[in-house]
Amino acid sequence: MNQRNQFNLRIMNRLWLRFSSVCMLVGLLSCSDYEQTVTTMNQLVMQDEFDTNGAPNSAIWGYDIGTGTNGWGNNELQFYTDRKENVTVQNGYLIITARKESYQGSPYTSARLLTKGKFEQAYGRFEARIRLPWGQGMWPAFWMLGADIDTNPWPAAGEIDIMEFRGQEPSTVLGTVHGPGYSAGESISKSYTLKNDRFDTGFHVFGIEWTPKYVNFYVDNVLYNQITPADVPGEWVFNKSFFILINLAVGGSFVGSPNNETVFPQTMLVDYVRVYK
Amino acid sequence: MKNIKVISIRIVVLVFISLILSNCERNLSGDVEFARFSTNPEVFIDGFSSGLQYFPFQGSKLDAFKVDTEVRYSGSSSMRFDVPNFGDPGGAFAGAIFPDNGGRDLTDYDALTFWAKASQSATINEIGFGSDFGENKFIVTLNNMRISTAWTKYTIPIPDPSRLVVEKGLFWYAEGPENENGYSFWIDELKFEKLGTVAQPRPAINFGQDETMDTFIGTTITIPGLTQTFNLASGQNVTVSAAPSYFTFKSSNVDVARVNENGTITIVGSGTAKITAILAGVRAKGSLTINSVGTFVPAPIPTRNPANVISVFSDAYTNIPVDFYNGFFAPFQTTLGGAVNIGGENVIRYTQLNFVATEFKNPTVNLSQMTHFHVDIQIQEPINPGDFISIELGDFGPNNVFGGGDDSSGRVTFTNTALSSNTWISLDIPLAQFGLASRNNMAQIFFISDATISTLLVDNMYFYK
């Protein structure tokens, strides 16, 4: 999508926000005239509704275990495990639990699930319904990495952060892309803040719609950002297969460490993960 | 939509009740609206909101509050509070309540919010709502609120909005000088709001601690440390003191202990009962486990001839004038408690004992004719190695006042092997054992445990010959 279309999108976005409150009064049905199209891809290709209690479906999900290098490159403080204390499916939810416990030399434990080698896809709609944890130092994420990362190291492989969250900013999430020349502090990012609500008290839908021409970021029924090849100051690497990651990190450079007011354990509840094309 | 739902549920309930009660002839109309008190959220925006009144606390500087049209956050005026200097003849502190005695329905809101700034950085002692000079049933206090010279928005969350169906106390505060210096602070845009971001409630009772207490039938205990903590949109946690009526208390054994809506526990039987609480569906952190030893057994009744006795504390004798049974000597003393009445018996009950003094200096007492000190004590906890109780007598000397270089004191110590728990121990100690230089101007009796023994009953303190 070119710059002009993007501009139009932003205007529509603003219009939608402005009219949304009016629409709520009038009734949701009558506001379709003003509502932008949040999603267009509706053909389901992969889903996990987390309906079977126990360990997550191993045909879809694998795990990163341990601390990686330098806390997974971010000075994160947790040790990731696949123990049921850190990751389990119960009552229709994937539950990732961050615990404060001394484990293998780390002060916290948690879990990181990924579909690497199990489900990888280029383009489509990637969506999850999640209730987030809260408190200083909690860093949950629903994100993607280029499937060729083992031979094409980050940031060249590309990263799409569908949702990242800082526990100390309970009403705000971020959607971001990282690639060669625009990673970490230079990544292309935008935040979305709920009005009179927060992400740790109920479930919200976080998703992207990804085509060869753009990545659209949405929360619930609000499309809040579009990133196109023209927006990135380097090579557009979002033209190949990516895999999905869901994790709950503790501490690290993005959020800072937990403090003595951070309540443990903390849970990230995932109602579903769905991928459409 | 939500409102309509609630109303329709109420209607269903009412219709159902009326069907039961009277097999009613006429149903309620679908348009029925239950009467509500004013839902006006505004307290002070640019002036007093409708019905708002101002009542300063007794002893406060009466003119501490003014409407200020020059300094304000927005609009045409703000509330200005002038905290007096130390020694101000007009009053030692600034404090007032702002009630609407018509009552407001605040159930739609989740916090009291305002903008504030001060002429200097300061810490406001107490600020909140729910004080109405009546029951203060739903009083909420934010303690030690830091304030700076920049306008800042503050949020005082409502512990459970559903309880504020008719709340009169819309705002209150109390603040004293900072390091003896007065200053001014301003509050503007004072109102109740539905923020939607007041979340993660974490109520607590007993300061969030699980504590066990030995006691007996007839005792009443008020649960301390009632708070509600929320996480706000800023990511900050805010803890307020919440009135007991926000909580629903529960006793695990009502044959041992009962607890009322004021958080007052009454011991009615022997055994164990755990007191817990819930606030708005959330289990409060902390508990109080009551071990009741059953019926309180009074100390043995003294039989000595009153003519040979100078009594400090006993129902059997006429007692000398006593200034206090607990001096609360700050900052080193932890001891709480003092004289209590249990089923008609006067007894002294100390908790969290480290040391405590009974003082009788008006006048001091001449013990020159006396030979012994008697006291009955009961230790209401297990005795461990290292536990001790020291009894110390203090004499003010010839000058008859504390200090002056002529005071003398001395103590007698009873170690764990001489003590037993949950039974009265009668001590008769020759005065000579205290080794005092003078006992003609006796004024103090200390009990000292250095926290080795925490809960102590004392009765029948007297000198005799």
Average pLDDT, chain B: 91
- Report how many Cβ contacts below 8 Å link chain A to chain B: 34
Q: Is the pLDDT reported for residue B10 higher than 50?
A: no
For residue B190, which of B45, B66, B75 has the smallest C-alpha distance?
B45
Q: What does the DSSP 8-state code read for residue A157?
A: T
CATH number of B306-464: 2.60.120.430
Q: How confident is the model at residue B36 (pLDDT cuts 50, 70, 90)?
A: confident
- Report yes or no: B202 at the A interface, CB cutoff 8 Å: yes
Helix (H) or strand (E) holding B5: helix B2-22
Name the token pair of B346. 């006067």
pLDDT band at A12 (very low <50, low <70, confident <90, very high): very low
**pLDDT for the residue numbered B6:** 40
Please tell me the distance from the alpha carbon of residue B104 to that of residue B130, in angstroms, as a whole number: 11
What local confidence, expressed as pLDDT, does residue B28 receive? 63
Whether residue B225 is predicted with pLDDT greater than 50 in this model: the reply is yes
Residue A39 has what pLDDT? 87
User: How big is chain A by its Cα radius of gyration, in Å?
Assistant: 18
Tokens of B181: 């210096």
C-alpha radius of gyration, chain B, whole number: 28
State the pLDDT at residue A2. 37
Contact assignment for A198 to B197 by CB distance below 8 Å: yes
What's the CATH number of domain B206-292, 1.20.200.10, 2.130.10.10, 2.60.40.1080, 3.90.1150.10? 2.60.40.1080
The percent helix, strand, coil of chain A (3-state, each to 5) is 15, 40, 45
pLDDT at B35: 80
Taking residue A150's Cβ as centre, other Cβ atoms within 10 Å add up to 10
Residues in a beta bridge with B143: B126
Q: What is the pTM of this model?
A: 0.74
| Facing residue for B197 by CB, picked from A135, A136, A170 | A170
Is B42-193's fold the same as B306-464's? Answer: yes
CB-based contacts of B294: which residues, under 8 Å, 6+ apart?
B216, B217, B269, B270
Q: Length of chain A in residues, anyone? A: 277
Contacts of A170 in chain B (CB under 8 A): 197, 199, 231, 233, 235
Question: Of B107, B97, B101, which is closest to residue B127 (Cα–Cα)?
Answer: B97
Mean local confidence (pLDDT), B354-381? 94
Give yes or no for residue A108 having a pLDDT over 60: yes
**Average pLDDT over every residue of B14-42:** 65
DSSP string, B57-108: PTTB-TT-EEEESSS-SSSS-EEEEEEPPTT-TT-SBEEEEEEEEEEE--TT
pLDDT at residue B228 tops 90: yes
Cα–Cα dist B63/B65, whole Å: 5
Neighbours of A49 (CB within 10 A): 14
pLDDT given for residue B343 in this prediction = 57
pLDDT in tens, A253-275: 999 999 999 999 999 999 999 99
Give the residue numbers of A marked as catalytic. 159, 164
- Kindly indicate the confidence band of residue B30, based on its pLDDT and cuts at 50, 70 and 90: low
**Contact with chain B for residue A167, Cβ under 8 A:** yes
pLDDT band of residue B12 (cuts 50, 70, 90) is: very low
- Judge whether A261 is closer than 8 Å to chain B, CB to CB: yes
Compute the average pLDDT of residues A43-70: 97
- Comparing A25-39, B113-127, B299-313, which segment has the lowest mean pLDDT? A25-39
Asked if the Cβ–Cβ distance from A197 to B235 is below 8 Å, we say no
pLDDT in tens, A215-256: 999 999 999 999 999 999 999 999 999 999 999 999 999 999
Write down the CATH number for the domain with range A38-276.
Answer: 2.60.120.200
Give the chain B residue whose CA is nearest to the CA of A138: B235
pLDDT at res. A21: 43
Residue B302 vs residue A22, higher pLDDT:
B302
A173 forms bridges with which residues in the sheet? A165, A192
Whether complex ipTM tops 0.85 = no
Residue B24, pLDDT above cutoff 70: no
pLDDT higher than threshold 70 for residue A51: yes
B42-193: which CATH number, 3.20.20.70, 2.40.50.140, 2.60.120.260, 1.20.5.510?
Answer: 2.60.120.260
Query: How confident is the model over B309-351, as pLDDT tens digits?
Result: 999 999 999 999 999 999 888 788 899 888 887 656 789 989 8
Residue A136 touches chain B, beta carbons under 8 Å: yes
Q: Is B199 in contact with A168 (Cβ distance < 8 A)? A: no
Q: Could you give the C-alpha distances from B111 to B199, B397, B401, in angstroms and in order?
A: 11, 59, 54
Least confident of A111-125, B60-74, B141-155, B340-354: B340-354
Residue B27 pLDDT class (50, 70, 90 cuts): low
pLDDT, tens only, A74-90: 999 999 999 999 999 99
Between chains, do B237 and A261 touch, taking CB under 8 Å as contact?
yes
B202 to chain A: which residues are within 8 Å by CB?
263
**Mean local confidence (pLDDT), B441-448:** 96
Domain ranges of chain B: 1-34, 42-193, 206-292, 306-464
Q: For chain A, what percent of residues have pLDDT higher than 90?
A: 85
Task: Please indicate if any CB of chain B lies within 8 Å of the CB of A135.
Answer: yes
Asked if the C-beta of B281 comes within 8 angstroms of chain A's C-beta atoms, the answer is no
Question: How confident is the model at residue B344, as a pLDDT?
Answer: 67
Say how far apart CA A183 and CA A178 lie, in whole Å.
4
**Above 70 in pLDDT, residue A98?**
yes
Structure confidence at residue A92 (pLDDT): 97
- Show the tokens assigned to A139: 């860093």
Of A263-267, B197-201, B338-342, B414-418, the range with the lowest mean pLDDT is: B338-342
pLDDT of residue A32: 41
- Is the peptide bond preceding residue B398 cis, with omega within 30 degrees of 0? no
